[in-house]
Amino acid sequence: MSGQEIDWQRIREILVFGKDQQSLERRSQIWRGIDVNGNGYLSLAEIDKGLRDILRLDEIFDCKPAIMRAFMAAKNAVKTKSSHGPDYVERAEFRLLLLYLQQYFEYYQAFSKVDKNNDRKIEMNEFLQAVPLMEKWMGKIGNPSAEFAKIDTNGGGVILFDEFCQWAIARNLDLEEDCN
């Protein structure tokens, strides 16, 4: 999806994670459309299919790393007594799933802008070249080499999407174009 124009307003309208009554009603409709077997749980596959068939968000459907991160974050967000809960998104976690889908999709767009060779990892030279851009999103980066080492939590010499997300969350990343 990198390089294409993203309709952030449309995404915000479809991924209704507000706490108002209208958002709750819309989320209930979406839930029923995705939970086709009515068991009260959403698997990763059901969410993936729902993004394409129910929500028609192809731009997010095509962004599997963002879907996976959102699913992992949401499925354990609310403690339940269900034995299946830790493996699935339950109704109580659905609002957070929709929020996380938008958030991780935004992180992936940022990650892709830095990952110039599209190998799904950010090398030191890519990071250094992107410092001015990243500073627009999240403020001053004092020592870029030290920051890179801090982000590279597994010490692999590259920044993976997971690592980038943790950093983006801590730094409150906000793409300027998603505010249009």
Q: Is 89 helix (H, G, I), strand (E, B) or coil?
A: strand
- pLDDT tens per residue across span 85-108: 688 999 999 999 999 999 999 999
As a whole number, mean pLDDT of residues 55-73 equals 96
Which stretch of DSSP H or E encloses residue 129? helix 124-129
pTM of the model: 0.91
pLDDT at 176: 64
Average pLDDT, the chain: 92
**Whether pLDDT at 179 is above 60:** no
- Give the 3-state secondary structure of 71-87: HHHHCCCCCCCCCCHHH
pLDDT at 144: 97
**pLDDT classification of 83: cutoffs 50, 70, 90:** confident
pLDDT at 77: 85
